[in-house]
Amino acid sequence: MDTTVQLGVLIVGTIGLATIFGTYLARMITFEMRPLEKTLARVESGFYKVIGINATRQMGWKEYFFALFLTNMVVVVFVILVLTFQNYLPLSEGKDGFSFDLAFNTAVSFITDTNLQHYAGDQQLSVTSHMVAITFTMFIAPASGIAAAFAFIRSFIRKNYGLGNFYVDLTRIIVTLLLPVAIVSALVLMVIGVPQTLQTSVETNTLESIINNNSSNSQTINIGPVASLESIKLLGTNGGGFFVSNSGHPFENPTGISNMYEMFLMLIIPLSLPIAYARLMGKGRGLAILVAMLIGFGTMVAISTSTLSGPLLLETRFGSFGSALFDTVSLGSNTGAVNSALAGMSPEAITSFFLGMFVQAIPGAVGTGMMTMIIFVLLTLFIVGLMVGKTPEFMSMKIGPKDIKLAVYIFLLHPALILVPTVIALGTGNAQAIVGDQVTPMGYTQTLYEYTSSAANNGSDYFGPSADTPFWNYSTGIVMFLGRYLPLALLLAIAGSFTMKDRKEVIEPIKTQGPLFITILVTVTFLLTALTFFPFIILGPFSI
């Protein structure tokens, strides 16, 4: 397929689907009538009774965050126990349990929607662990992020009414959004050629055995419940693969059709939230955020495809453009799945991937990408307000010093979580143990990438199972943990501040819609990102 046609089909198709999904999400945020409302309400109420919650109870930002955090930590403990003792569970297939540091890293990785993998999935995980620990967590993590985005958006349309109920949002998102779409997507992937079975492996004859009529040369091929994992992996912008080579493996991504379909899945929900925002806050405001995201994404595509990647370490099924486009979609949406080895990508492509992880909002992960872009909106309004000498306003509400401080903390937290552990890894020699005694620009890039991916809750990396050491498991686990929950707490604190503000008709220093605002928003976003992160990459991909 022609490269222009591929890109056109991707953008038009995802925006078309996102329009449908965005309308549905807007109804979920405001509890309006949805298609099949009575049936969905009955299903949801059944879950409320089982888990024993009052669906009408509203939560403030502290209670909402605590409920999210507590739920996620319960899942972390559960996943650690499953992985540590998987050899005692059914369908263990002789797989050993994980060491505690690897189980900790994996549990934190998946609950934070990062999916950094310091293990070889098809070789070290049992079918039970894949289904009960990994796939299960792939529903909880994105649902938590989407729920936080729901609460964040509600703060702009409610006053003194609370941000919603986390347990209600989590239940509705999983039961009536993620689960049905994931089931349908898994069926589609099965039709395309992705396996779905409880069988762990198959024996097949190699070409040599056929020619020599010698069955002793047969090959064992690992399989399992791949389609169900692959579906929610992409839909929830999780990114963790069933196989070591992730979406480069023919059982996860068999054809060009699956390559395009999987890109659709990664972009649908991140692009749906700006459309939901437009439905609730006004088309102009939502369109401005959507266009800003697409401009950022287009910039990533332009950079990553400006130079041919490979041919080594790339899948011949997809070629340079198909690999770069897929990886750009994945890194831009903070999914982290790749259909080619990062070592086979050009320095320009790696620079593009860093850009996506630095900004985290073009379009970013489900839920958190949308919230991060609104933080850039607040920072933009503050800077413009300083330039024109007016108090910054956002949707008839004054942006106070507390709001700006929280927004700045969110922005500055990201580089701190990247740079400090990178220096520690290089200074203690733990990076050199993997990249070699002489730290080359490539070795520095790999180390920087590991922590950038962890802090951005992205999950793609160069090291893979070679980083299965206590230092790397604990250090990246801590960075993933802080990179997820500190920003979420600060974002919900901003939401709590806005829900208490008076709504008065005032003139904003600049209208948060239209071409002028889009231009300023994109410019400020990229300038802030460049000024903060440019020194990081000078020594890395720019020097390769």
Q: Please list the pLDDT of the chain residue by residue as tens digits (544 residues).
A: 678 888 889 999 999 999 999 999 999 999 998 888 888 888 888 888 888 888 889 999 999 999 999 999 999 999 999 999 999 999 888 899 999 999 999 999 999 999 999 999 999 999 999 999 999 999 999 999 999 999 999 999 877 788 999 999 999 999 999 999 999 999 999 999 999 998 888 887 776 666 666 666 678 888 999 999 999 999 999 999 999 999 999 999 999 999 999 999 999 999 999 999 999 999 999 999 999 999 999 999 999 999 999 888 898 889 899 999 999 999 999 999 999 999 999 999 999 999 999 999 999 999 999 999 999 999 999 999 888 878 788 888 889 999 999 999 999 999 999 999 999 999 999 999 999 988 999 999 999 999 999 999 999 999 999 999 999 999 999 999 999 999 999 999 999 999 988 877 666 678 899 999 999 999 999 999 999 998 888 888 888 7
DSSP 300-321: HHHHHTSS---STTS-TTTHHH
Separate counts of helices (H) and strands (E) for the chain: 21, 4
193 Rama class: left (phi>0) / alpha (psi -120 to 50) / beta: left
Residue 197 lies in a domain: yes
Residue 63 one-letter amino acid:
E
Query: Would you say residue 209 lies in a domain?
Result: no
Amino acid at 397: M
Identify whether 522 is part of a domain. yes
Q: How distant, in Å, are the alpha carbons of 110, 329, 471 from that of 454? A: 11, 18, 14
- What's the token pair of residue 512? 């948060």
DSSP helix/strand/coil, 110: helix
DSSP state of 95: P
Q: Is the bond leading into 142 cis (omega within 30 degrees of zero)? A: no
Residue 211 lies in a domain: no
Cβ proximity of 232 and 219 under 8 Å: no
Q: What single DSSP character describes residue 392?
A: -
Q: What is the largest CA-CA distance in the chain?
A: 84
Q: Which residues contact 136 (CB under 8 A, 6 or more apart)?
A: 75
Tokens 């079918």 identify what position? 127
Q: Please state, in angstroms and rounded to a whole number, the distance separating the CA atoms of residues 331 and 446.
A: 15
450 close to 463: Cβ distance less than 8 angstroms: yes
Q: How many CB atoms lie within 10 A of CB 534?
A: 11
- Quick one: DSSP state of residue 542? G
Within a domain: 482: yes
pLDDT at residue 211, as a whole number: 67
Residue with tokens 């069933």: 242
Residue 212 within a domain: no
Distance CA 134, CA 363 (A): 25
CB 338 within 8 A of CB 348: no
* Boundaries of domain holding 99: 3-204+221-532+536-543
Instruction: Classify the C-alpha dihedral 484-373-277-13 as positive or negative.
Output: negative
Residue at 215 is within a domain: no
Please report the pLDDT score of residue 250 as a whole number: 93
Round to the nearest angstrom and report the end-to-end CA distance of the chain.
31
Residue 214 within a domain: no
Residues paired with residue 88 on neighbouring β-strands, in sequence order: none
Alpha helices in 52-192 (DSSP H): 61-84, 100-111, 121-124, 127-128, 136-154, 166-173, 179-192
The total number of structural domains that make up the chain = 1
Cα 253 to Cα 262: distance, rounded to the nearest angstrom: 8
Alpha carbon 5 to its chain centroid, in Å, reads 26
CA 195, CA 359: separation in Å to the nearest integer?
Answer: 35
- How far lies 4's CA from each of 32, 305, 311, in Å? 39, 12, 21
